[in-house]
Amino acid sequence: MEKPEILTDLDVDSTTRSVMKKLPEVTLAFWTMKIAATTLGETAGDLFAQTLKLGYFLTTIALFLVFVVTLVVQLRSRRYNPFFYWTVILSTSMAGTTMSDFMNRDASATFLASGATSLGWGPQGLGLGYPTGAAILISLLIAVFAVWKLTGMTFVIRDIVTFRGEALFWSAILVSNTLGTSMGDFLADSSGLGYAGGALLVSGMLAVLLVLMKVPVVPNVLLFWFAFVLTRPLGATAGDFLTKPVAKGGLDLGTAGSSAVLLAILVGLMAYAQVQERRTAASSPEPTEQEAVTRRAV
């Protein structure tokens, strides 16, 4: 009888990495798509909640369910698929927009769109305010990272190859996008900087992070997560700048028109990323039957 092959831990790790790579490389294209997705998340969230008058409560529930569906598709995928990945990023941005609004705002006319007297069914906000809401979200994000740290799994996204690691990753993404929305709305609405000023401030902070990448003592993983959070308020302020009335410092392009243009841009970028991924996959060997068995066992 032929002796069964014995796989070492190193073999399992190598096989798992080759078969289960589910997340993209962090490049300039990655950040371009991240900003496009988060800007669209802001305009689309406002489109459903405010323009279509569904309200923050109903829209938050609906968009959270969309996030769950897209996340299940992503988690069940056998390898990185740009359409699956960036659809989840978009769904977390849209859900994060209305979750933040629901936490921080209230039912007063201050937060209603022009000409609106009310929004959809249900409570329209907890009225916590941006500082309190941000403090809660920062605490949640720290808790996610603390649990992540206790598991001993890597924070480097290109090395996340397990179901549990990916679940923690997406938990951090959802909370960070919600936090980023609160930060963006605070900068645009409450800080006195306005939409353009808020975007310039966040852009300056991102430039500082870019410089810090050259400093050896500063971990790039830490810089990545700071940048990931900060690109969300950049998208939030950019989205508000596109959609809000001229009297409030915006361009008044509307949530529907802005969302349509941003969606076209994002789909185009996803299609390009899909082509690049297929070229990469074509140049890589397909997993063997043994590797597929190993993947299921890990």
Q: What is the pLDDT along the chain (298 residues), one digit of tens a residue?
A: 444 433 333 333 333 343 346 778 778 888 889 989 988 988 898 889 888 888 888 899 999 999 999 999 999 888 889 999 999 999 999 999 899 988 988 766 565 555 555 666 667 778 888 888 888 999 999 999 999 999 998 888 778 888 888 999 999 999 998 998 888 878 877 777 777 788 888 889 999 998 998 888 888 888 888 898 888 888 877 887 888 777 777 788 888 888 998 999 999 999 988 888 888 777 765 544 444 444 443 4
pTM of the model: 0.79
Q: 82: buried, middle or exposed (CB in 10 Å: 19+, 13-18, 0-12)?
A: buried
In the numeric block, the tokens 């950040």 are attached to: 31
Give exposure, 129-163, as e/b (b: 16+ Cβ within 10 Å).
bbeebbebbbebbeebbeebeeeebebebeebbee
